[in-house]
């Protein structure tokens, strides 16, 4: 007897595509209107360099495989050979956000919940929306694969679980702890292969980047816990103190609320979320605990899955709190969407939809970019980097002649300005008021445009 094929989830496909289109259009507008910055520039330069047979990212002074392990970047290198455009990055990221809907609807069906609840939780997820509209990061590409690993794991299907987990690891190998967390909540039959993939990804992320030079490794983020992971393990009080710190507790609470709160009915899912979130919760760099960036995105499938599981528990109980959970599971995500997401008036201009979708900041970025040659080595501010990143040598001002800005690099991971020679850059673009950092004996002003001061290196006459 031939098994019947599962019906196509047409409603899910429509919802996924609609969400992907919305995220893509908004992220494209953000970039077109010159609100994108440092992170998009890093991956745009990486893909452009790979397309030209090179592998160095000058913005962070690391090999493509040393700035975290994301083999998926080689795919973008191939695509950049066809057409070198950030549209590949923004389009793939938007597609990943939208595609997360489909496996999460499967999780809802697994727990006997309406699939529309999963769709709504994904669409309202402030961490996922923030990640989808903040530049680009390979860890966001991993989210639908993590969601698929949860779904197939709950369904006790080892092969598709392993394939989904492997795909997630190819996007970002250091999400190994998220894969281990998924093993906590899935069926016993899939745990061993899932743990094996997680251990393999973890080993690769620990070993491979160091083979390609300096990395953004242990010390910049976790040095306060000990000089190595082993030191942190034998001093667990430091780990506990960091987990219980206000910053860690607040971001963990944000994840819980953004996912629907009802995950609290399922302690095993809460434990899984703690395990998955350890790299974020324990990092001493403040950026990892900010709701503005991409760090919460890999946690989204776990917390939504836990909420759907909690709703199944609530439906089976008849006490007052269960009935309230059934009625109010959506209120937390809506609250955070309005308070801490790109649609919130509290987000900064560069990440607020109502600002970046309808105009730029009024400065002539295109005019500045037109003054820079294709082969010029450039030092420029954050907002200009993604407009200039398809070149071999690009630096975040005031690098390479000044110290790296502390807001963009975790302490100990910044490029060392002392390694550069006097002729490392041809063009410098400084904001008015910051041009005094430029060596006046080696550069001359060639233009002043809308608060930008453009310098070019003085070429000695023979």
What domain range includes position 304? 10-355
d(CA 173, CA 166): 9
Based on the domain organization, do 62 and 161 belong to the same domain?
A: yes
Residues 21 and 61 in one domain: yes
Residue 301 and residue 437 in one domain: no
Structure tokens at 178: 């998220």
Q: Are residues 369 and 345 in the same domain?
A: no
65 in the Ramachandran plot: left (φ > 0), alpha (ψ -120 to 50) or beta?
alpha
| Whether the Cβ atoms of residue 86 and residue 386 lie closer than 8 Å to each other | yes
Same domain as 438, residue 299 = no
Pair (349, 378) in one structural domain: no
Per-residue pLDDT band for 1 (boundaries 50, 70, 90) equals: very low
Same domain, 322 and 392: no
Give pLDDT tens digits for 387-404. Answer: 999 999 999 999 998 888
Residues 439 and 300 grouped into a single domain:
no
Query: What gap in Å lies between CA 381 and CA 309, rounded to an integer?
Result: 46
Residue 63 forms part of a structural domain: yes
Terminal C-alpha separation, the chain: 87
- Is 216 in the same domain as 330? yes
Torsion of CA 399, 403, 407, 412, to 10 degrees: 110
Domain boundary among 355, 386, 402: 355
- pLDDT band (50, 70, 90) for residue 220: confident
Q: Which of 355, 389, 414 is the C-terminal boundary of a domain?
A: 355
Q: What is the pTM of this model?
A: 0.94
User: Packing angle between helix 143-154 and helix 158-171, nearest 10 degrees?
Assistant: 160
Residue 4 reports pLDDT greater than 60: no
CA–CA dist 444, 315 (Å, integer): 71
Distance CA 124, CA 101 (A): 11
Spatial distance between the Cα atoms of 409 and 285, rounded to a whole number of angstroms: 9
218 assigned to some structural domain: yes
Peptide bond into 102 cis (omega under 30): no
Q: Are residues 259 and 408 in the same domain?
A: no
Whether 319 has a pLDDT exceeding 80, the answer reads no
Q: Is residue 48 part of a domain?
A: yes
**432 falls in which pLDDT band (50, 70, 90)?**
confident
Q: Which stretches of 244-394 are DSSP H helices?
A: 246-258, 267-282, 300-316, 320-328, 331-339, 353-356, 365-369, 385-388
pLDDT score recorded for residue 6: 67
Of 345, 306, 295, give the one whose Cα is nearest residue 329: 306
Sheet strands (E) in 166-273: none
Are residue 177 and residue 46 in the same domain, yes or no? yes
- pLDDT bracket for residue 316 (50, 70, 90): confident
Q: Tell me if 5 is assigned to some domain.
A: no
Check if the beta carbon of residue 438 is closer than 8 Å to that of residue 455. Answer: yes
Is 124 in contact with 333 (CB distance < 8 Å)? yes
Of these ranges, 14-23, 200-209, 226-235, 361-370, the one predicted with the greatest mean pLDDT is 14-23
Same domain, 387 and 344: no
In 3D, which of 176, 146, 131 has the Cα closest to residue 295?
131
Predicted local confidence at residue 92, as pLDDT: 98
Determine the pLDDT at residue 2.
Answer: 46
Q: How, if at all, do strands 378-380 and 62-63 pair?
A: unpaired
Of 404, 401, 403, whose CA–CA distance to 438 is shortest?
401
Residue where a domain stops, chosen among 336, 355, 374: 355
Domain membership flag for residue 245: yes
Residue written as token pair 């790109």: 342
Pick from 102, 75, 101: which is nearest to 89 by CA? 75
pLDDT of 81 above 60: yes
- Residue 360 within any structural domain of the chain: no
> What residues contact residue 303 under an 8 Å CB cut-off, 6+ apart?
255, 256, 258, 259, 260, 263, 269, 273
Query: Nearest-CA neighbor of 329 among 56, 72, 113?
Result: 113
Tell me whether residue 4 is in a domain. Answer: no
Q: Tally the domains of the chain.
A: 2
Share of the chain above pLDDT 90, in %: 74
Question: Is residue 3 in some structural domain?
Answer: no
The helix/strand/coil state of 402 is coil
Query: Phi, psi (5° rounding) for residue 168?
Result: -60, -40
Residue 457, classed as helix, strand or coil, is strand
């Amino acid at each position: 007897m031939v098994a019947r094929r599962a019906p196509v989830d047409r409603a899910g496909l429509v919802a996924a595509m609609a969400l992907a289109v919305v995220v893509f259009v908004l992220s494209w507008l953000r970039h077109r209107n010159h609100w994108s910055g440092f992170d998009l520039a890093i991956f745009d330069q990486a893909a452009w360099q790979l397309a030209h047979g090179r592998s160095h990212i000058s913005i962070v002074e690391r090999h493509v495989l040393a700035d975290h392990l994301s083999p998926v970047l080689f795919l973008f290198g191939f695509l950049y050979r066809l057409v070198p455009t950030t549209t590949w990055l923004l389009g793939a990221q938007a597609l990943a956000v939208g595609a997360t809907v489909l496996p999460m609807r499967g999780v809802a069906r697994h727990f006997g919940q309406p699939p529309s609840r999963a769709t709504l939780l994904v669409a309202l997820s402030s961490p996922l929306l923030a990640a989808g509209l903040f530049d680009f990061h390979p860890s966001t590409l991993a989210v639908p694969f993590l969601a698929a690993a949860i779904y197939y794991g709950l369904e006790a299907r080892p092969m598709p679980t392993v394939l989904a987990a492997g795909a997630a690891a190819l996007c970002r190998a250091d999400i190994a702890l998220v894969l281990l967390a998924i093993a906590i909540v899935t069926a016993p039959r899939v745990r061993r292969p899932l743990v094996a993939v997680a251990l393999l990804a973890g080993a690769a992320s620990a070993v491979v980047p160091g083979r390609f030079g300096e990395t953004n490794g242990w010390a910049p983020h976790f040095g306060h816990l000990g000089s190595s992971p082993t030191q942190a393990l034998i001093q667990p009080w430091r780990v506990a103190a960091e987990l219980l710190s206000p910053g860690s507790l607040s971001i963990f609470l944000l994840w819980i609320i953004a996912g629907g709160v009802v995950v609290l009915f399922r302690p095993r899912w809460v434990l899984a979320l703690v395990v998955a979130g350890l790299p974020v919760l324990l990092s001493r760099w403040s950026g990892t605990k900010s709701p503005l960036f991409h760090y919460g995105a890999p946690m989204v499938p776990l917390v939504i899955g836990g909420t759907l599981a909690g709703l199944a528990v609530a439906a089976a109980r008849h006490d007052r709190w269960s009935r309230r959970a059934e009625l109010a599971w959506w209120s937390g995500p809506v609250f955070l969407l309005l308070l801490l997401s790109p649609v919130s008036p509290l987000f900064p201009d560069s990440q607020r939809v109502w600002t970046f979708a309808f105009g730029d900041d009024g400065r002539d970025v295109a005019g500045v970019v037109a003054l820079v040659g294709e082969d010029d080595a450039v030092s420029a501010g954050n907002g200009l980097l993604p407009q200039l990143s398809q070149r071999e040598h690009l630096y975040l001002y005031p690098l390479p002649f000044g110290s790296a800005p502390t807001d963009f690099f975790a302490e100990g991971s910044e490029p060392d300005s002392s390694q550069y020679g006097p002729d490392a850059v041809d063009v410098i673009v400084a904001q008015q008021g910051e041009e005094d950092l430029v060596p006046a004996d080696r550069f001359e002003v060639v233009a002043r445009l809308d608060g930008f001061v453009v310098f070019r290196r003085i070429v000695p006459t023979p």
